[in-house]
Amino acid sequence: MLSERRLQVLRAIVQDYVGTEEPVGSKALTERHNLGVSPATVRNDMAALEDEGFIAQPHTSAGRIPTDKGYRLFVDKLAGVKPMTAPERRAIQNFLDGAVDLDDVVARTVRLLAQLTRQVAVVQYPSLTRSTVRHVELLSLAPARVMLVLITDTGRVEQRMVDCPAPFGEASLADLRARLNSRVAGRRFTDVPRLVEDLPEGFDVEDRGTVATVLSTLLETLVEENEERLMIGGTANLTRFGHDFPLTIRPVLEALEEQVVLLKLLGEAGDSGMTVRIGHENAYEGLNSTSVVSVGYGSGGEAVAKLGVVGPTRMDYPGTMGAVRAVARYVGQILAES
C-alpha cells in the first residue's frame, strides 16, 4: 500500500502534467505544491511509484509522466468530480432551453459539451429499444404503398416505406392503425413483438399479407441496431492533442467516423453512473491514447442513451467529469419536459 504522501505526489504529478503537457521533475513538484519535503524525498517516492507502474519516464533523466494505471488511481481515489459553478449551470440551461426539437437538443448538447470540455463530444440519440411507443402512424401513399411512421416518447421519429403485396384500402388501413395503436401505444419497444403477434388473425384473408408485411417492417425498425444514431462535434479540439499529430490524430478521426465503433464504446460503458475508460482500457486500438468519459442520460429515472467526450489521456478528469455529468442531467430534464 502506498503512503498518503506518495498518493499526494502522484496527484501532484497528474495535475502538473495535465497543466503543462511536460514531464514533471522532483524539483518543480516541491516548488509548486507545498508537500513539506525536499526534492530528494520526492525522488524516492517517485522511484517507488514507478516501480508500482503508476508513472514512467519517457527517457532516462527526464521527468515523470503518469501511466494509464496512474490516471486510473487518480480518477478512482485521488480526485473527485468538480462541480460546475453557478454561472456555468445557468449557461448550460439557457443554451439547452432554446432547442426546438430532438435533433436540435442533440445538436446543442454536442456543441455545449465540446465547448465546456474543449474536447470531442459524442451524444447518442435516445435509444429505440429502451423507449416507449407514443404513436404509430400509417399513411397510404399509393394503393399498394404505405408509409410507416413511428413516434417515440422521447420525440424521435422513424419512418419506413412499405411495399404491400396487395392493394390495401383506406378502411383497412384505418382499422389497422387503430388496432395497432391500441395495443402498442405507451408500451416499451421490447414488448411490442409479443403484443402484435396475433394481429393479422383479425383481418380478412386478402389483407393478412399486407398486415404481416407492415408488422414485420415495424419490428425491423425496432430491433435494427444500426439505426442507433449519434452525433459528434468539437473535432477541431483534436488539434490540441499533442505534438506528434498525424500519428495520434488519424486513428481517432477514423474511429469517430465509424459510428459502429463509437456505439460499441458507449455500449460497453457501465449502465449506471459515470464511466471513465483510460487509454488501453478502450478495446478499440485506435483510441489507445485517449480517454473516454461517458454517462447515461434519460428523461426519467432511467437512462435512454449515453453521451460523453473523447480526449487525450492527459485530460482534466475532474473538470471533464463534472461537465459531462451536468450536461447529462440538464438534457434529461429537457427531454422530460418535452
Partner DNA sequence: CGCTGGCACTCGGACGGACAGAGTGCCAGG
Partner DNA sequence: CCTGGCACTCTGTCCGTCCGAGTGCCAGCG
Among its own copies, DNA, none, partner that 44 touches (CB below 5 to 8 angstroms by kind): DNA
Helix (H, G, I), strand (E, B) or coil at 134: strand
Half-sphere CA count of 276, side-chain side, radius 13 A: 26
Angle subtended at Cα 276 by Cα 272 and Cα 278, rounded to the nearest 5 degrees: 155
Please, what is the minimum distance in Å from the beta carbon of residue 246 to DNA? 17
* Rounded CA separation 278/313 (Å): 6
- 231 is a contact residue toward its own copies (CB under 8 A): no
CB-nearer residue toward its own copies: 138 or 278: 138
Among DNA, its own copies, none, partner that 139 touches (CB below 5 to 8 angstroms by kind): its own copies
The span of 4-12, 72-80, 148-156, 308-316 binding its own copies (CB under 8 A) equals 148-156
Strands (E), 192-270: 230-233
Q: How many CB atoms lie under 10 A from the CB of residue 73?
A: 22
CB-nearer residue toward its own copies: 37 or 107: 107
CB-nearer residue toward its own copies: 139 or 283: 139
CB-nearer residue toward its own copies: 26 or 237: 237
Please, what is the minimum distance in Å from the beta carbon of residue 77 to DNA? 20
Strands (E), the chain: 55-56, 65-66, 120-124, 133-142, 145-152, 157-163, 230-233, 275-278, 290-297, 305-312
Which three three-digit cell numbers place residue 107?
445538436
Site string for its own copies, 240-269 (x = CB under 8 A): -----xx--xx--xx-xx------------
Helix (H, G, I), strand (E, B) or coil at 231: strand
In the list 97, 101, 197, 225, the residue contacting its own copies (rule: CB under 8 A) is 101
Please, what is the minimum distance in Å from the beta carbon of residue 58 to its own copies? 21
Q: Print burial letters for 10-44: b (CB count within 10 Å at least 16), e (below 16).
A: bbbbbbbbbeeeebbbbebbbeebebebeeeebbe
Counting residues that bind its own copies (by CB under 8 A) gives: 29
Q: Which residues bind its own copies (CB under 8 A)?
A: 101, 134-135, 137, 139, 141, 147, 149, 151, 155, 157, 159-161, 233-236, 238-239, 245-246, 249-250, 253-254, 256-257, 338
